Structure 1
Amino acid sequence: MTDIILDTNGDLALQDGDFVVDFSGYTHQEHILIATKGEFKEFPELGVGLNRMLSDDDYMPFLIDAKKNLEHDGMKINNIKFEENGNLNIDGYYK
């Protein structure tokens, strides 16, 4: 998916006085996982709310919601799981 790119601070990336446009799928994943429902005004049901999951012992509803939200964004998800080291592994790609 091609879109405007953000820099490491979350600001718009600029190059030669213009916006940088490139593959942005990972940025979309990050924003969807962090955002809570209602933060995307055009799509109020989009958002997983990673911060809510951090204070809960049951992470399965988070994984189900994350899969649904990422698929709604156009990803084909093969598997989504937490690895033993705590990292979230998303096996998928944008169609």
Structure 2
Amino acid sequence: MKGLLLNENMTLKILNGSLVIGDTTIQNQQMLLLADKSDFKQVPMRGVGARRFLESSQSDELAREIRLEFIADGMTVNKIEFPTEGQIKIDASYEG
């Protein structure tokens, strides 16, 4: 999906005085993972809230929440893995 890119501080990325447009899939995934419910004013029930799962062994619950939120955002989720503790590997993308 194309859109406005954000920098590492999650503010608009500007290059040579212009906003940067590019593939936003990864940044959208990052924002959905980190966002808690009610963080997005326009869609208050959107967000995984991954911080809630930090000290939990509920990887199945986390995977379910990721899948539900990514699908609700229009992505196709192929695979979610937890290769090592504290890491998430997600294969998901927008159609088209």
Give the alignment's TM-score, normalised by structure 2: 0.90
Q: Distance in 2 between matches of 1:44 and 1:27?
A: 19
Structure 1 unaligned blocks of 5 or more: none
Alignment-derived partner of residue 94 in structure 1: 94
Aligned runs of 1:1-95 on 2, under 5 Å? Answer: 1-84=1-84, 86-95=86-95
Give the CA deviation at 1:93. Answer: 1.6
Residue 40 of structure 2 aligns to a residue whose secondary structure is coil
Q: Distance in 2 between matches of 1:29 and 1:83?
A: 18
Amino acid at match of 1:27: Q
Deviation track 1:29-67 (CA, whole Å, cap 9, x = no partner) reads: 000000001111111111011110002222211110110
Contact 2:2-2:23 within 8 A present in 1 as well? yes
Amino acid at match of 2:30: E
Structure 1 residue runs of 4+, over 4 Å off?
none
Q: What is the RMSD computed on CA atoms of the aligned residues?
A: 1.3
Give the CA deviation at 1:74. Answer: 1.2
Amino acid at match of 2:22: D
Identity %: 29
Q: Distance in 1 between matches of 2:71 and 2:11?
A: 26
Q: Distance in 2 between matches of 1:34 and 1:85?
A: 17
Structure 2 unaligned blocks of 5 or more: none
Instruction: State the number of aligned residues.
Output: 95
Contact 2:35-2:47 within 8 A present in 1 as well? yes
